[in-house]
């Protein structure tokens, strides 16, 4: 079973959307994630959804997601307005999904029941919006101790509480999965895998941050290969989307090398 690579704009944030799409096509990874948080090259700078659709068509790439609706599990009128606007943008641009990132402000409910309930309320409000536009919501739990929803098990409980498996899936982020220390993988409910590695041997796991995230290579400490292989054995067949946050010098060559390393070592 061949690997299906994708490129998150964070892998090369200095590139315009047109340049990103061209790079993805050149690398043989014609699936991209665009973002609303990249200074200068975000969709928030005025690039219309129609333009995104045309640029993707011109490059023969697929926009698999917009990343992201932040703080999704802290629901409010403001969040509802933002969700509606992003769902419209997904629909018009051709994006297949909207990443839903859990709140990472440090306000963490003490009980699992409260964490699940906050997520359930948000998903109950999000589901009619996403269904109206035919968009999948990709719930992403962050592994940081400050995150209000670290556990995918709790996210699944919230999804099931709203009968939402038709419209919600999980984002499995190899970095955040490692930080959270959660053994469950949930391949049957995973819609997207974000991949990045950490190589610095001096950093303790609880001190790892986005700035330490590089491309996946032989010195990776997060067991990306093991995580990917286990998810694939469980039936996952979707994209592996590169999402490093540390600056990459020469992204084309670096991505080529990471694609080759993963392809050569996944069994």
Domain ranges of the chain: 5-265
Average pLDDT, integer, range 89-104: 97
Is residue 127 pLDDT above 90, yes or no? Answer: yes
Claim: this prediction has a pTM higher than 0.85: yes
Confidence class of residue 43 from pLDDT cuts 50, 70 and 90? confident
The CA–CA distances, whole Å, from 74 to 16, 19, 164, 181 equal 31, 35, 18, 24
Contact 255, 7 (CB under 8 A): yes
What is the average pLDDT score of the chain? 96
Average pLDDT, integer, range 124-140: 98
CA nearest to 128, candidates 77, 90, 166, 89: 166
In the chain, % of residues over pLDDT 90: 95
Annotation: CATH topology of 5-265: TIM Barrel (3.20.20)
Average pLDDT, integer, range 145-160: 98
């Amino acid at each position: 079973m061949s690997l299906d690579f994708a490129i998150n704009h964070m892998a090369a944030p200095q590139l315009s959307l047109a340049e990103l799409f061209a790079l993805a096509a050149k690398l043989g990874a014609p699936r991209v994630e665009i973002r609303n948080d990249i200074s200068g090259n975000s969709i928030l700078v005025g690039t219309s959804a129609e333009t995104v659709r045309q640029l993707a068509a011109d490059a023969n790439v697929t926009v698999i997601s917009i990343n992201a609706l932040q703080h999704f599990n802290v629901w409010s009128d403001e969040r509802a307005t933002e969700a509606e606007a992003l769902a419209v943008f997904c629909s018009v641009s051709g994006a297949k999904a909207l990443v839903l990132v859990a709140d990472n402000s440090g306000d963490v409910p003490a009980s699992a029941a409260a964490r699940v309930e906050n997520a359930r309320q948000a998903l109950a409000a999000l589901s009619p919006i996403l269904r109206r536009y035919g968009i999948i919501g990709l719930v992403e739990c962050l592994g940081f101790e400050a995150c209000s929803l670290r556990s995918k098990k709790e996210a699944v409980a919230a999804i099931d509480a709203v009968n939402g498996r038709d419209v919600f899936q999980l984002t499995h982020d190899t970095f955040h999965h490692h930080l959270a220390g959660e053994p469950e993988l949930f391949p049957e409910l995973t819609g997207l895998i974000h991949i990045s590695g950490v190589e610095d041997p001096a950093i303790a796991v609880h001190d790892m941050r986005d700035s330490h995230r590089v491309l996946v290579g032989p010195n990776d400490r997060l067991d990306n290969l093991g995580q990917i292989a286990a998810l694939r054995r469980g039936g996952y067949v979707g994209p592996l989307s590169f999402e490093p946050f540390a600056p990459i010098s020469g992204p084309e060559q670096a991505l080529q090398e990471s694609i080759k390393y993963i392809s050569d070592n996944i069994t």
